[in-house]
Structure 1
Amino acid sequence: MNDRYVRQTVLPEVGDAGQARLAGASVLIVGAGGLGCPVMQYLAGAGVGRLAIVDHDVVEETNLHRQPLYTMSDIGKPKVEVARVALQRFNPGLQIEVHAERLTPQNAARLVAGADVAIDAADSFAVTYILSDACQAAAKPLVSASVIGMTGYAGAFCGGGPSYRAVFPEVSVDGSTCATVGVLGTAVAVLGGLQAHLALHLLLGLVPTVLGRVVTFDARRLAFGGFGFAGSPEPDAFVPFIAPDAVTTDDLVVDLRSLEEAPASPFARARRLDVETVTSLATPLPSRRVVLCCRSGQRALMAADRLRERGIANLALVALG
């Protein structure tokens, strides 16, 4: 056994057998940003044999206070490529596979199929639901986290436990993001480190399982909390996310972004409404599929809930990024 792991193999919860399990494991990491950096570093440090990293973004200077895997010289470079070089330099024995693309409804199932555990580190509503749907269908565990400001959570879903949709069928519509509200780098590091720990817990098969549990963290009060959700029922029906190129000319497309936010819509015949006025579509009830679009998917999810309450069930969502 490699001496680099001796300080963890001495643990009875790991041992040589556990280290061998980690070496043979594959983890999908979606998001190479603030949450993804500690996830990647700690899983690579623990000796997880294969890491598949998905992120379409490039390094920006505003990332550096919470993404210490990157440096000033990396600005403008694809995050996944910089991460691959850094991780292979850190632990050359690992297989690092990178995908410089967004997670989409088209590629999610394929990416999840090759993983033992999937990690949602993208902090995106659309990615979380798309990844949860793919993991639920493939019976693969999902570790998801989110941090805004100085608070956040991490939890373990699917893989025999309830899906993210079972626990969070609805979302807030306040639209807060790291760019608008801000985020403290150390709060992100705590939650990203917790994600890595949850993944190792699952890969090692420790008991009791972390599936069906959420841990919350308030960095202002230095308080941890959480709750269990084992046994939560799956929703009878849900509105799926689709890719922009899956929208057809027969669809009634609604762009929920304001003209100030997005002067031009990628859909030529899109109607411009917001979450408050989208219920006008219910009079009369449309005969074709309604596709709701916004930047992150958050407003689309809220609008879909309002339309379903008014009897419109043929719906789809698009996150335009």
Structure 2
Amino acid sequence: MSRYARQMQLPAVGATGQQRLAAASVLVVGAGGLAAPALPLLAGAGVGRITVLDPDTVALSNLHRQTLFSEADVGAPKAAIAAARMRALNSEITVTALQDAFSPDMAPALIADHDIVLDCADSYAASYLASDLCLAAGVPLISASVLGHGGYVGGFCGCAPSLRAVFPDAPDSGASCATAGVMGPVVAQIGAMQAQMSLQVLLGAEPSPLGTLVQVNTTGWHHARMDFHDAPEPTRAFAFVTPGSGDLIVELRPEAEAPTPVHPSARRTLPDAPDPRRLVLACATGLRAWRTAEEFSKTWPGEIALAAATTTHVTKDTSS
């Protein structure tokens, strides 16, 4: 009996749907808590090609929610370990591990090479970067965010509005799982919903999850669904970029916080006169830069972009 027999019994899948999954490619940005359920479910369903991107190594504090990993994996690259688990689960698929941050330099080509993107990163800068690039490329994005006892998952881009159309302003807080805490089961719940949405998009299911946001709150056991098909794209957005020598770069972190600025030519004070160069505001996560950009853009006549401190080295593991 085929390993996919139970899902092929579904009218929405069948032999034709299973062939579509086998021919599909999925990029998963982040190999942490959200990816822990999403990756095995995608691999188990028979998605033919999966790319896992994550720059980090496994830490003991990850294990309560990042259940792809064991104590023996502490210190090992998350992407490589996650990819190995997927290959062990399904030898019929191809899994590629990229041990790198999701940066503006490498992301466009990576997105263009996949049918759908799962945003499983604990970084709103990565989420907005993925949304901007997916919108431009016409690639569906399944993005999720979890904190504390709740979160959301939504289907963006492709034929739907972007993440910016739903959340156009800078986040109120820069809190993350590392700084504010999170419950493991709610992460697993939302990560599994990401996998389900992705499979439905790949199968061409109707109604499509694109243009839909689902919010989950396990404190009071509330679930809410929002349709955002008609949400307008913002008229002005601050893109996340990799700063270059032709930019006017301002490192917003003080020297005590960041002795080495995001770029060698960066200054640490805001300009007091107009400049024809693109103004790039940089900080650790991008949040400080975004809030500064919102205020500074009221008087600055030129283009303003954002930069979040990231690494750029790529290590590939493409065995299947």
* TM-score normalised per structure 1: 0.90
Q: Distance in 1 between matches of 2:174 and 2:115?
A: 32
Moved more, 188-197 or 163-172: 163-172
Structure-2 residue corresponding to 1:203:
202
* Equivalent in 242, 248, 251 of residue 252 of structure 1: 248
Question: Partner residue of 2:110?
Answer: 111
Alpha-carbon distance in 2 for matches of 1:266, 1:153: 31
What is aligned with 2:8? 9
Structure with more contact order per residue of length (Cα contacts < 8 Å, sep ≥ 6): 2
Tell whether 2:294 aligns with 1:297: no
Extract unaligned runs of 5+ from structure 2: 311-320
> Which residue of structure 2 aligns with residue 134 of structure 1?
133
Structure 1 residue 233 displacement after superposition: 2.0
Matched residue count = 310
Distance 2:251 2:176 in 1: 20
For the 8 Å contact 1:163–1:234, the answer to whether it is kept is yes
Using the TM superposition, give the Cα deviation of residue 148 of structure 1 relative to its aligned residue in structure 2, in angstroms: 1.2
Report the alpha carbon displacement of residue 299 of structure 1 after superposing the two structures with TM: 1.9
Paired with 1:220 and 1:256, the residues of 2 have a C-alpha distance of 37
Give 1:150's aligned residue: 149
Q: Separation in 2 of the partners of 1:96 and 1:269?
A: 39
Q: Which residue of 2 aligns with 1:98?
A: 97
CA drift at 1:311: 3.6
- The alignment status of 1:23 with 2:22, answered yes or no, reads yes
1:314 partnered with 2:303: yes
Q: Identity of paired residues, percent?
A: 42
- 1:149-168 equivalence runs, <5 A: 149-168=148-167
- Measure how far apart 1:32 and its partner are: 0.5
- Offset at residue 286 of structure 1 (A): 4.3
Aligned partners of 2:150, 2:253: CA distance in 1, in Å? 27
Distance 2:79 2:277 in 1: 40
Letter in 2 for 1:191: I
Structure-2-length-normalised TM-score: 0.91
Q: Is the 8 A contact 2:149 2:183 kept in 1?
A: yes
State how far apart, in whole Å, the 2-side matches of 1:16 and 1:58 are: 39
CA distance in 2, matches of 1:146, 1:92: 30
Instruction: Write out per-residue CA displacement over residues 85-121 of structure 1, whole angstroms, 9 at most, x where no aligned residue.
Output: 1111111111101111111111111111121111111
Say if 2:262 and 2:282, in contact at 8 Å, map to a contact too. no
Alpha-carbon contact 1:141-1:157 (below 8 Å) kept: yes
| CA contact 1:173–1:298 (8 Å) conserved in 2 | no
CA RMSD of aligned residues (A): 1.9
CA contact (8 A) 1:173 1:299 kept: no
SS in 1 for 2:3: helix
81-90 or 229-238: bigger deviation: 229-238
Alignment check: 8 A CA contact 2:87 2:95 kept: yes
Asked if the contact 1:145–1:154 (Cα under 8 Å) also holds between the matched residues in 2, the reply is yes
Cα displacement (A) at 1:270? 4.1
Corresponding residue number in structure 2 for 1:262: 258
SS in 2 for 1:44: helix
Give secondary structure in 2 for the equivalent of 1:220: coil
User: Which one-letter code corresponds to 2:75 in the other structure?
Assistant: G
Mark the CA change 1:201 to 1:318 in structure 2 (over 3 Å): closer, same or farther.
same
